[in-house]
Chains A and B, each alone.
Chain A
Amino acid sequence: MDALYPSAAISMVEILERLGHRVLCPDSLVCCGQPAFNSGYWDQARAVAQPVLESLQEAEAIVIGSGSCGAMLKVFYPQLFDKTPQKEMACNVAARTWEFSSFLVDKLGVTDLGAAFPHRVTFHDGCHGLRELGLKQPPRTLLRSVRGLELLEMKEAETCCGFGGAFSAKFPMISSAMGDVKCHSALETGAEYMVSNDSSCLMHLQGLLSRQGKSLKTMHLAEVLNCVKKN
């Protein structure tokens, strides 16, 4: 989100600040370590995750704009640091970690951010957000209160898009076939935008859609929710 999708991260900061929160973003927060973790290199994953863990000790709440990275902190850090001196720290961080839409809806009780986005939108459930964190409703609750937005459910909303991190490069033919199935399902709805709370899924899907010359655009949930009249 830092390098490729800054506007999604900026939207998150602006939304959280509008709601009156003080947002911190220490320089040491770079990557959660999931790529190495998922590939089986847990020592290397811990080396990446350790500074993240340490710099999150002060935060009241840790808000992440990705179901996948969110699941890494919330579900997998306690496993990754199991039987290490950082176990307690990891469990502690996990307990304070929220995926962005869940933080707004489940923690803050905010469902209407005053956004307007007069377009047809379909929502893609990132698998980690959906199945590791169990977040089916929060993003939809937020999208339903956006003015002018028409939410169209696709048949394969819960089917994996095929990104899967290193999987997408190691098994590109399977990954692309899965992405095709997903894009086809999204296109069937007649939506103009495919929205998700995971930039990595969207990077893969947008890559396929652009290559195939499709006009369907992908957009991060936070960007949609940040479509407000600014003072």
Chain B
Amino acid sequence: MSFASEFMDRARVVASNLRHRQIIRTALGNYEMARDRRKATYQDWQGARQLAAETKWEAINHLDHYLLDFSNRLEARGTKVHWASNASQARDIILSIVQQKQARSVIKSKAMTAEEIHLNEALEKAGLKVVESDLGELIVQLRRETPYHIVFPSMHLTREEISALFEKELGSAPTLDPEELTMIARRVLRGKYLTADIGITGGNFAVAETGMVSITENEGNARLTAALPKTMITLLGIEKIIPRLDDLALFLPMLATMGAGQALTGYNTLYGGPRQPGELDGPEEWHVVLLDNHRTELLADGEQRDALHCIRCGACLNVCPIFRNVGGHTYGTTYSGPIGSVITPHLRGLQDWKHLSGASSLCGACTETCPVKIDLHHHLLQNRRNAAQERPDNLEEAAFGVFGWFTRRPAAWKTVRSILQKIQPLTRRFQKKPWHPAKPWTQTRDLPVLPSESFRDWWKNRPKTSKHD
């Protein structure tokens, strides 16, 4: 089955699931209120967006230069930097570090890039025990699911479901108290940090000026993941670069605001290197893996290069009416929602993933909310154009050709209209039938009424005196 038909099947089920709709609506309703409260504290939100977009533009358009700065400075403090062209190289690099250390267990903090390269599967296949330390990620890991959302991996689940999951997987007593549920996870995780041989993290920003990785989190789990195991591995997409340390003053609050409606995320930590002589804590070894995986191809696309500005805040998912109705898992991608629909065709092939660009009403809510001003919904249009140019759908192409022929021949168009008008009693009468030729429309919607007189008829027939032309 193709990715497109899998998407259609899942979308059909989820879109009609009223319980799902309500859960997401409630969760995102709370997010929207918090986000708007935070946005209102900015003196000039639009100005902040503009500055963020320009800063990322500068970073992405000078990526060659900034990436080298970043890596040179990291290496100067003893960090080992690795360059991975694609997912399999990145997995191999990480696996070889793990094997070299003869590691048996890995603790991970949240990293969408790790999802992108299917790192957990690769580690588990190599015989390692992998534990996710972010609460939401742990929950979806226990369910053997992928994250539902870039920022809120388990937002599709209720407290009841999480309690039942913990009861089954962790043997805890049932509770609906969110704090108690968090404590259950915490008790389980504390032991894992101490026994893990390797800690794997992602990163939110890579500061070129100082050679540091900025990690944002609310639970302190990334700090423990980085601090306790002897070896730390950080996997970063190359687009995470920002030029200067000062830029964090804009990006940290912006990410917190748009990501979760917070002024600042609970913990913001800058990592500059492994444990230095005389330091008391931190990993003995730090490996930073820089991942390309088709990002340079996106960089070469002048029209859509700004998609690399993305700071993975998830704001476009939260406002997207498609995402809200079909849910994160329906996409079948690492990155869901508008940004996922834009970049997945670049990351995994246009023809296989063009349906995601088609599955949009092009409403533009994503572009309106994006804090780094990615022209998301117009990129969906460009993906559609590129897909049709590369491999046109014969039927669709012919249909638009025929339609065009009619638009240039008003008389023929008029004939069609009058035939449709004459058979209207029939087309309307049978509109609830499953064999109706307009079934995609009529299954849920009544057909519009075709009036006997068109505007053109009225225009031609109206009394000459009122005619000005």
Contact = CB atoms under 8 A, between A and B. Distances in A.
Interface string A167-191: 1111111111111010000000000
Nearest to B431: A211
Interface stretch (A34-42, A85-93, A100-108, A115-123): A34-42
A41 B446 contact: no
Contacts of A177: 15-16, 21, 325
Contact of A178 (B361, B386, B389): B361
B361 A172 contact: no
A189 B11 CA distance: 29
B12 interface: yes
B35 to A, nearest CB: 15
Label chain B's interface by main secondary structure: helix
Contact of A44 (B381, B387, B397, B455): B397
Interface in B360-387: 360-365, 367-368, 381, 384-387
Given A2-B454, A131-B365, A173 B16 contact: yes
B369 to A, nearest CB: 11
Given A35-B400, A160-B365, A1 B321 contact: no
A30 interface: yes
B400 A44 contact: yes
The interface size bin for chain A is 35 or more
A131 B451 CA distance: 31
A47 B364 CA distance: 26
Contacts of A41: 388, 392, 396-397, 400
A171 B321 CA distance: 13
A207 interface: yes
A8 to B, nearest CB: 8
Contact of A181 (B325, B401, B440): B325
Interface string B242-259: 000000000000000000
Contacts of A164: 360-363
B359 A36 contact: no
Contacts of B386: 40
A107 B400 CA distance: 35
Interface in B133-177: none
A31 interface: yes
Given A36-B403, A48-B403, A177-B21, A171 B441 contact: no
Contacts of B389: 40, 42
A170 B455 contact: no
B435 to A, nearest CB: 16
B363 A172 contact: no
A57 interface: no
Contacts of B179: none
B443 interface: yes
Nearest to B383: A40
A206 B443 CA distance: 14
Contacts of A10: 455, 458
B447 A44 contact: no
B444 A170 contact: no
A173 B12 contact: yes
Given A2-B454, A4-B448, A6-B451, A160 B363 contact: yes
B400 A174 contact: no
Interface string A6-33: 1101100100010000111101101100
A25 B469 CA distance: 9
Interface stretch (B70-78, B285-293, B406-414): B406-414
A181 to B, nearest CB: 7
Contact of B361 (A3, A13, A175): A175
Which 8 interchain pairs have the tightest Cβ spacing?
A: A164-B361, A207-B445, A40-B388, A160-B363, A40-B384, A131-B364, A127-B363, A6-B455
6 contacts: A28-B408, A39-B388, A40-B389, A131-B368, A167-B361, A176-B15
Given A25-B469, A160-B361, 8 more contacts: A37-B381, A41-B400, A42-B388, A131-B367, A163-B361, A165-B361, A171-B359, A207-B448
Interface of A: 1-7, 9-10, 13, 17, 22-25, 27-28, 30-31, 35-42, 44-45, 47-48, 51, 127-128, 131-132, 158-160, 162-165, 167-179, 181, 203-204, 206-208, 210-211
Interface of B: 8, 11-12, 15-16, 21, 321-322, 324-326, 358-365, 367-368, 381, 384-389, 392, 396-397, 400-401, 403-404, 407-408, 410, 413, 417, 440-441, 443-451, 453-459, 466, 468-469
